[in-house]
Amino acid sequence: MSDKSHRSLLLRVEDLQLEGRSDETWTPIVKGVSFDLHKGEVLGLIGESGAGKSTVGLAAMGFTRDGVRISGGSVLFDGTDLVTASADTKRQLLGKRIAYVAQSAAASFNPAHKIIDQHTEAPVRHGVSGRKESEEDAMELYARLRLPNPEEIGFRYPHQVSGGQLQRAMTAMAMSCRPDLIIFDEPTTALDVTTQIEVLAAIRKIVEDFDTAAIYITHDLAVVAQMADRIKVLLRGEEVEEAETRRMLSDPQEEYTRSLWAVRSFKRPAKPAPALDAVPVISVQGVTAAYGKMDILHGVSFDIHAGRTVAVVGESGSGKSTTARCITGLLPPRLGQIEFEGTPLPGSFRGRSKDQLRQIQMIYQMADTALNPRKTIGQIIGRPVEFYGGLRGRARRARVEELLAQIELEPSQYIDRLPSELSGGQKQRIGIARALAAEPRFIICDEVTSALDQLVAEGILKLLADLQDELGLSYMFITHDLATVRSIADEVVVMKDGEVVEQGSKDDMFTPPHHPYTDLLLSSVPEMDPDWLSELLKERGLENIGDAASDRM
């Protein structure tokens, strides 16, 4: 990363305005965004959901999705205004000089054709190179991107290749015509952390190798810090600020940017270890569980003590959510048992008493699917109050209001609303209130913050921490995000392929020596330091990161 602003100008976006259609009327969604991009320069475009970053990224290619239109401004690419250019002119540029890498490679490769056929399509169509040359070039690019079996992998169909590899194949496809500009639209958001780091390294290397300019769109600050020369921050379709990466990280000017930077600072003090003879609230004992005939969990054991938070971490498919399903009784374990305060629970939730059901509550990842869209907030929270507490009429309403106050929402304002009238963070709070309404001892929080923007997520974490102190609750906190673990957990359980790899108090977990997998997981989480990736690669080498390292364990 060096200053490239002296080099010749490639793309100039000026006062770009976009509108989106909702209910037959057009409303502005991007209200005047401008930036310059020079040859070989990487611009990071960041913002929370609804900031319009993807829309801007596509508009920089002169492209809009259905229901979106460019209402003003210009996009000058190498002298051509893409806003007013004819469809033919744009087609000449797209794929050849401007390329695109989408968020989900699995969905963006055509399932009906082999990867290599899709790779060679653009160069052959645009007359850049012949089919044979292009195929050879593809294999070379695959090798450069460290894909396994570069000679052979292209002849597979997309569904036969893993997500992280497909994402790299898509980057290779974008490179097939050696474009001047590539738009990366959240290319690693859907990937696990250990896979993400590999893809990040590959993308950065190839962009540098071919001196390609890029717009890198993401919501993850630590990721953009590794990739971009300059960063531009967007908020609800408006620009907040733009600066060179290091300066942006060390000295943000705007209030909003500073608040984004500050998010990761929330940390609660560690609690003293529980007494040795204390009876745990929940004790998972040697649980083996299966879907059909395949064992998914293998002898999982851990304890959760009163008033403490146990974070269960692991990547997708590690069995964290399955463990939660065993505890709630949705999936009766094949072997082993779950104890609640020393007494074993029946395996299936159908066999449990009303009071046993009441003691274990759950908060879900997607607040949208966790709240019945046809019921008002009052009904959603009121039902468990009535069901378990037997309160009716005025007493029930009073209790609902009390709960709403507890989750910091004004009761009179929210009690009659429908979930669709709330924001994501507010919905998640309603989910918390519904769990609290049962007056449980123990709550399972399943990725409760991963669908939320960082500022909102922080609010939820704080609320959960306060409620724990106030009510003496125990939490099982399922997450893949180690920053969340760092801020809220007392103890950590690391899972991989249905087994507990390591467990212990948070301080032990975050100080070496670790189990090699924990070590890999910890080291893969991007940090806000722009040199982090370079140093990590220098320290460990390309062989010891990502899926390759994970598979070796």
Partner 1 sequence: MTALLYVLGALAALLLAAWAMRLAGRALSGNHPRFRDMGFGEAFGWVFAAAALVFAVWLYGREGAVFFRWAVQGFVIFALAAWLFRLAGRHIGTGGSRKLFRAMPLTASFGVLVVLIYAILAIFAGFIAPYGQAEILGAANVVPGGDPALGGNPAYPLGTDQIGRDILSRLIYGAQNTVGIAFATTCLAFVLGGSMGFLAATIGGWLDQLLSRAVDVLMAIPALIFALLLMTIASVWSARLGVPLTLFMVLIIALIDSTRVFRLARAVAGNIVVMDYIEAAKLRGEGLGYLIFREILPNALAPLLAEFGLRFCFVFLTIASLSFLGVGIQPPLADWGTMVRDLAQFINYAAFAPQAAAAPLLAAGAIALLTVAVNFIVDWMLHRSSGLKE
Partner 2 sequence: MGSVTRIVVQRLLLGILTLLVVSIVIFTAVNLLPGDFAQAVLGQGATEEAIRSIRRDLGLDQNIVLRYLDWLGGVVRGDLGVSFAQMNFQSNMGGGEMKTVAAQIAPRFGNTMFLAGVTAMIAVPLSITLGVLAALYRNSAFDKGANLFTLSSISSPEFFLAYVLILFLAVIYPVLPSLSNIYEGMGFGERLEKTLLPALTLTLVVTAHMMRMTRAAIIQLLSSPYIEMARLKGISPMRVIVRHALPNALAPIINVIALNLAYLITGVVVVEVVFVYPGIGQLFVDAVKIRDIPVVQAACLIFAGAYILLNLTADIMSILSNPRLRHPK
- Sites of contact with partner 2 (CB under 8 A): 61, 63, 65-66, 90-96, 99-100, 102, 104, 107-113, 121-122, 125-126, 156-157, 159-160
Among partner 2, partner 1, none, residue 434 binds (CB under 5-8 Å by kind): partner 1
- Residue 70 near partner 1 by CB under 8 A: no
Question: Could you tell me the sign of the dihedral formed by the alpha carbons of 432, 437, 441, 446, in that order?
Answer: negative
223, interface contact from partner 2, partner 1, none, CB < 5-8 Å by kind: none
Return the number of the residue (29 or 494) whose C-beta is nearest partner 1.
29
Of 75-134, which residues contact partner 1 (CB under 8 A)?
A: 84, 86-87
**Residue number, 21 or 113, with CB nearest to partner 1:** 21
357 binds, among partner 1, partner 2, none (CB under 5 to 8 A by kind): partner 1
Please tell me whether residue 23 binds partner 1 under the rule CB under 8 A: yes
> Is position 232 an interface residue for partner 1 (rule: CB under 8 A)?
no
Task: Say whether residue 266 binds partner 1 (CB under 8 A).
Answer: no
Indicate whether 390 belongs to the interface with partner 1 (CB under 8 A). Answer: no
Token pair 């460990």 in the structure block, residue: 540
Residue 255, interface with partner 1 (CB under 8 A)?
no
* Residue 387 lies near partner 1 (rule: CB under 8 A): yes
- CB contact at 8 A, 431 and 454: no
Residue 267's binding partner among partner 1, partner 2, none (Cβ under 5 to 8 angstroms by kind) is: none
What does 330 bind: partner 2, partner 1, none (CB cut-off 5 to 8 Å by kind)? partner 1
CA atoms within 13 A of residue 112's CA, in its CB half-sphere: 0
* Contact partner, 109, from partner 2, partner 1, none, Cβ < 5-8 Å per class: partner 2
Site residues for partner 1, window 424-443 (CB under 8 A)? 434, 438
Q: Pick what 159 binds: partner 1, partner 2, none; C-beta below 5 to 8 Å, kind-dependent.
A: partner 2
Interface mask toward partner 1 for 342-361; x: CB under 8 A: -------x--x-x--x--x-
Count of residues touching partner 1 (by CB under 8 A): 30
Considering the complex, state which of residue 328 and residue 450 has its C-beta at the smaller distance from partner 1: 328
CA terminus-to-terminus distance, the chain: 34
3-state SS record for 385-432 = HHHHHCCCHHHHHHHHHHHHHHCCCCHHHHCCCCHHHCCHHHHHHHHH
Half-sphere exposure of residue 219: CA atoms within 13 angstroms, side-chain side: 16
Q: Closest by alpha carbon to 488, among 339, 323, 222, 266?
A: 266
Question: In 10 A of CB 94, how many CB atoms?
Answer: 18
Count H helices and E strands in the chain, helices first.
23, 20
The full DSSP string for 141-183 is HHHHTT-SSTTTGGGS-GGGS-HHHHHHHHHHHHHTT--SEEE
- Per CB under 8 A, which region of 263-271, 368-376, 389-397, 462-470 contacts partner 1? 368-376
Burial 430-466 (b: 16+ CB within 10 A, else e): bbbbbbbbbbbbbbbbbbbbebbbbebbbbbbebbbe
CB of 204 within 8 A of CB of 235?
no
Least distance CB 330 / partner 1 (angstroms): 7
382 binds partner 1 (CB under 8 A): no
| Selected binder of partner 1 within 102, 153, 174, 362 (CB under 8 A) | 362
Q: Is the CB of 316 or the CB of 413 nearer to partner 2?
A: 316
Residues 6+ apart with CB under 8 A from 23: none
The vertex-327 CA angle with 326 and 331, nearest 5°, equals: 25
